[in-house]
Structure 1
Amino acid sequence: MASSLRLEDPSVFAGQWQATLSTENDAPEAQKLQDKPSNTCALELQANQTVGKGAECLGAWLEDSPIGWFPEPDGISITGKEGSRIVFFSRQGDGLYSSTLKSGLVVTLERATK
């Protein structure tokens, strides 16, 4: 029997996230230890499904300005000006999502610890 994924309420994702840019071969943990500001962004997914603080930083990696976001059964989509999806982050585990960009670089979203 096929299992179906549940669509989470947007409130589950609202809050502070840490975005990390790395190559496919770099572990995100190793990138964080390198302490390069250009490799990490503090990102806020707001309750009204807009991208708050950190949108400019993430946008520099995505080649488009992130404006909004919405949950999907298997991840989180970030949308641009026209509301169309510009990047999809697939679920890797609780509070951990990743996407491989056209350039081959990997962006990891991790729920910020409170």
Structure 2
Amino acid sequence: MASSLVLPSAASLSGQWTVVDKSSSCDVQLTAERFEAANGYKLSISPGCDPSVLPETPEAWRPAPDGIALLNGDGLTVLFFSREGEHYRSQIWQQTGKILKKSKN
């Protein structure tokens, strides 16, 4: 019997997250508030975020069965993170991909 991946709810993924890229990091807040123009949910980035971590600034996000997509204002994916254990990783084919992990509050 084949199994399907479950689409997580926005509420279950909402909260404070950290994007880590080599020695830099950036805090992002994923919310469950709709961002209709992007067909996703609002996202905010901490002030002073290193541009090398998020070179194209996302304005929204969307859950996917296999990860989390960060979106521009038009709903196009600027960065996709695939689930990898307890965190998510971009560019899973490389060990140098960015890591998205939920902050412990």
TM-score w.r.t. structure 1 length?
A: 0.72
Q: 1:64 aligns with which of 52, 56, 61?
A: 56
Q: Kindly indicate which of the two structures has a greater share of residues assigned to strand.
A: 2
Tell me the distance in 2 between the aligned counterparts of 1:21 and 1:63: 11
Instruction: State the match for 1:91 in structure 2.
Output: 83
**Does structure 2 conserve the Cα–Cα contact (< 8 Å) formed by 1:55 and 1:65?**
no
Change (3 A) 1:50 1:75: same
Counterpart of 1:67 in structure 2: which amino acid?
Answer: E
Tell me the distance in 2 between the aligned counterparts of 1:50 and 1:43: 11
Q: Kindly indicate which of the two structures has a greater share of residues assigned to helix.
A: 1
Tell me the distance in 1 between the aligned counterparts of 2:43 and 2:91: 20
Cα offset, 1:55, TM superposition: 7.8
Q: 2:32 aligns with which of 35, 43, 47?
A: 47
Give RMSD over aligned pairs. 2.3
Instruction: State the match for 1:81 in structure 2.
Output: 73
- Tell me the matched-pair count: 96
Q: Which runs of 5+ in 1 are unaligned?
A: 23-30, 32-38
Tell me the distance in 2 between the aligned counterparts of 1:74 and 1:10: 14
SS of equivalent to 2:84: strand
Tell me the distance in 2 between the aligned counterparts of 1:66 and 1:75: 16
Tell me the distance in 1 between the aligned counterparts of 2:78 and 2:21: 16
Instruction: State the match for 2:36 in structure 1.
Output: none
Runs of at least 4 residues of structure 1 off by over 4 A? none
